[in-house]
Amino acid sequence: MRILLIEDSADLAEAIVARLQREGHGVVWTADGDEGAEFAAHEPVDLVVLDINLPGRDGFSILREMRRSGTTMPVLVITARAEIDDKVSVLDLGADDYLVKPFDLRELEARIRVLLRRRMGEAQSLISYGDLSIDLVSRTAMVGGALVELGRREFGLLELLMARVGRPVSKERLVAHLFGHDDTGSPNAVELLVSRLRRKLEGCGTEIVTQRGVGYFLRTGDGDAPLA
C-alpha cells in the first residue's frame, strides 16, 4: 500500500519511513504542511499519517480540507498533544485514529494495519488480470492459482501496474512509489526491478511491456494496447 507521511521531525519521519518500507509499503514523506495538503489532494495514496504542528498549514487545516473535499482515505493523527480536547477535535474533524507521541513504532504499525484492513474491507482486496492475481491484504501474488514469491519492491511494482491496467506507468512515478526518499531510487533501479519481475513471471499469460519514452504497462496474450 502507499502511505503519505506528513511529519516535520526528520528523525521520527525517517524511522517511520524505514519501518513502513520494511513492511512492504511505499511511503511519500513531506515535512511541510502546505506541501502535505497538496500531496493529500493529488497523490494516489491509501492512508495518511498526519502530524498536527507543522510549518505552513497545520494538521487541523489539512484534515478539515480533506474531509470537505470528500476524501475518505484513512487518516492517523500523530501528535504530542495529549489533552482530551485535542483528541476530540481531530476525531470530530474526521481522523480515523489518534496516537500520542512518543509512541512505539510497533503500535503505529499495528494501528496502520487495522485502518488498512478496514479500508480493504470496504474495497476489493483481490485484483486479477489474465491469469495473474494479487492480494492487497496478504501482499501475495499468484499465477493460475500458484503462489509466486516476490520481494517487497517487486510486489509494489506489480501492485501499481495492476492498479493501472491499460495505462502506462512512468519510471519517475515508479521511483517515487517504490523508493520514496531512499537514495537507491533511480530509473536504472526501476529497470533492474522490472527485469527481475519479468523473470519471475515467465510463462505467465500476462507480460510487462515497455512503452519507450513513456513507461511500463501490463498486457495479456490477447495483445491489449495501452490507453493514451
pLDDT in tens, 108-128: 998 998 888 777 665 567 788
- Which CATH code fits 2-122? 3.40.50.2300
Contact yes or no for 28/2 (Cβ under 8 A): yes
**Domain 149-220: which CATH class?**
mainly alpha
Report the percent of the chain where pLDDT is more than 70: 92
The C-alpha cell 492487497 sits at 136
pLDDT of residue 216: 95
- Which is higher by pLDDT, 18 or 176? 18
pTM for the complete prediction?
Answer: 0.59
When pLDDT is averaged across residues 26-40 and rounded to a whole number, the result is 93
CA neighbor of 31 nearest in space, from 52, 54, 12: 54
**What tens digit of pLDDT does each residue of 63-107 get?**
999 999 988 889 999 998 888 888 888 899 999 999 999 999 989
pLDDT of residue 228: 43
149-220 and 2-122 share a CATH fold: no
> Could you give the CA distance from residue 201 to residue 208 in angstroms, rounded to a whole number?
9
> 102: buried, middle or exposed (CB in 10 Å: 19+, 13-18, 0-12)?
exposed
- The domain spans of the chain are 2-122, 149-220
Report the percent of the chain where pLDDT is more than 90: 48
What is the distance in angstroms between the CA of the first residue and the CA of the last residue of the chain? 25
> 146: buried, middle or exposed (CB in 10 Å: 19+, 13-18, 0-12)?
exposed
Alpha helices, H only, 23-104: 33-42, 59-68, 84-93
